[in-house]
Amino acid sequence: MPERTVSDVLTQLRNQLSGNSGTGVRELGRTFRALDSFDGNRKVDRNEFVAALQQMGLSLSTFEYQLLFNYFDVDRDGSIAFDEFLVGVRGLPNPKRQALIDKAFLKFDRDGNGFIEAVELRAVYNCHLHPKVLAGVWTEEQAFTDLLSNFNDRNRDGRISKAEWNEYYAAVSAGVERDDHFVQLMKAAWQLD
């Protein structure tokens, strides 16, 4: 029997998740978030990774778990970012979603330089609708700071590149099952028509 590749295992995983009443990837995301509740670093170690997949009832061999984990542990630190894993499982946003992601980016990148300034986002992003603001836990400024941190502004220059924007929304898209919900989310967040 030929050795299985990461692509083979991902295909098997996708098939198993799709047989999960259409909620497989979303449930997998919830399971990962529950395992991450202790430190909130949005990463899982090898044991948590296997536990999450097993909790979902996914049937993989020890070799297949190892193969997947090693593939997604890009920096070899013994953990994987579960947003990246979910994007890897679900794939990149479909053309309809990507068009909306692009439209939102272009709304802010008026000079076409491939970057959005944080101050431009702040003028449009509806921080008052953030669940933690609504609950009185955060201020609107805290919600906005949290949003910026999600874009992985690696050099902390207050600018978001097109690549950072796409990476963030690929992760968001991976956690939203239905296109109409994703469209609604994007329109509400960025006041798109």
Residue 44 placed within a domain: yes
Q: Which of 90, 116, 133 marks a domain boundary?
A: 90
For residue range 120-175, list pLDDT tens digits in order: 888 777 788 788 899 999 999 898 888 877 776 656 677 888 888 888 888 788 77
Q: What is the pTM for the complete model shown?
A: 0.64
DSSP state of 111: T
Residue of higher predicted confidence among 24 and 93: 93
Nearest C-alpha neighbor of 68 from the set 11, 29, 1: 11
For 43, the domain range is: 6-90
Residue of higher predicted confidence among 98 and 7: 98
Owner of token pair 């992985």 = 152
CATH number of the domain to which 64 belongs: 1.10.238.10
Q: Is the pLDDT of residue 89 over 50?
A: yes
Q: Is the pLDDT of residue 21 over 80?
A: no
Nearest C-alpha neighbor of 174 from the set 102, 92, 105, 74: 92
Same domain membership, residue 103 and residue 79 = no
Q: Which of 90, 107, 140 marks a domain boundary?
A: 90
Domain count, the chain: 2
Report the pLDDT value the prediction gives residue 38, as an integer from 0 to 100: 62
The whole-chain average pLDDT of the chain stands at: 82
Residue 1 placed within a domain: no
Report the pLDDT value the prediction gives residue 164, as an integer from 0 to 100: 83
Confidence of residue 22 (pLDDT cuts 50, 70, 90): very low
Q: Is the pLDDT of residue 62 over 50?
A: yes
One-letter amino acid for residue 178 of the chain:
R
DSSP state of 127: G
